[in-house]
Structure 1
Amino acid sequence: MATRNIGQHDFAEVVQAEGMVLVDFWAAWCGPCRAFGPTFEKASEANPDIVFAKVDTEAEQELSAGLNITSIPTLMLFRDGILLYSQAGALPAAQLDELIEGAKKLDMDDVRRQIAEAEQKAAEKAE
């Protein structure tokens, strides 16, 4: 699957969908972004079961600011609507592959249980 461009109008819908979504925040003027682009595209071709999305931070300044994107490229990985990874910096192909494989192996029921436990503890502290 090729990468797709997303923005403010469809970001939430795309990342909250079931399955895995990788989002690359980039800009045309950014050298490291341009260098990472082919790696991201190649990974999208190797993983047709994953949505690979790109957000142009110049065109989507409000979205980028709302997500606290302060450095590009920034890569976010969502699975079943849960943010699992968010980090600035271009990843080498091997590291991107490891990130994808690690996310595929996660037990999402266990992840949801851990989130629920953390939210419960936070709510108890707030009382």
Structure 2
Amino acid sequence: MAVQHLNKSNFKQTIESNAFVIVDFWAPWCEPCVSFTPTFEAASEAHPDIVFAMVNIDEDPEISNYFNVKQIPAVMPIRNQVVVDAQVGEMSQSELESALKSWGEFDMGEINRHFDEKASA
């Protein structure tokens, strides 16, 4: 699946309508960001069940500010609308694959119970 480009008009809808989204915060002037993009794109093709998306921090600083992104590239996995981790810095293909496996196996049970309790209160 192709990498999506998120901005303030489509970010919320994308996060709310997909169970697993990996967001790469980047900027075109950031050399590590640009060199990481092909790795990120290759992972998106290898994992069509996950939404891979990029946010240009120069074009949409509100999003990066909301998530307190201070360094880029910053990759944030979001499962069921919850940020489960963050990785700052360029990753190799094997490092990204290892992170994807870990993020996919992350136990959402306690988090889901918390939000279920809040909803029923």
TM-score bracket, shorter-length normalisation: 0.7 to 0.9
Mapping of residues 2-41 of structure 1, within 5 Å: 2-41=2-41
TM-score when scaled to structure 1? 0.82
Indicate the larger mover: 49-58 or 104-113: 104-113
Q: Could you say what secondary structure the match of 1:85 adopts?
A: coil
Alpha-carbon distance between aligned partners in 2 of 1:66 and 1:82, rounded to the nearest angstrom: 14
State the one-letter code of the partner of 2:43.
Answer: A
Please tell me whether Structure 1 or Structure 2 has the larger radius of gyration of its CA atoms: 1
Higher mean alpha-carbon deviation, 81-90 vs 70-79, is at 81-90
CA offsets, 1:16-66, max 9 Å, x none?
334210000111110000110000000000000110000011111222222
Residues 1:51 and 2:51 are matched in the alignment: yes
- Separation in 1, partners of 2:82, 2:108: 9
Answer whether contact 2:18 2:51 (CA < 8 A) is retained: no
Unaligned runs of 5+ in 2: none
Alignment of 1:80-95 (within 5 A): 80-95=80-95
Can you give the 5+ residue segments of structure 1 that lack an aligned partner in the other structure?
121-127
Following superposition of structure 1 onto structure 2, how do residues 74-113 of structure 1 map, counting pairs within 5 Å? 74-113=74-113
Matched, 1:64 2:64: yes
Partners of 2:52 and 2:24 in 1: how far apart?
A: 8
Q: Distance in 1 between matches of 2:109 and 2:53?
A: 25
CA RMSD between the two structures: 2.0
- Extract structure 1 runs of 4+ deviating beyond 4 A: none
Between 29-38 and 86-95, the greater mean CA deviation after superposition: 86-95
- Preserved contact between residue 23 and residue 77 of structure 2 (Cα < 8 Å): yes
Residue 52 of structure 1 aligns to a residue in which SS?
A: strand
Give the % identical residues.
37
What is the total number of aligned residue pairs between the two structures? Answer: 117
Q: Deviations over 1:69-125 (max 9, x none)?
A: 111111100111111112321111111111111222233224434xx29x99xxxxx
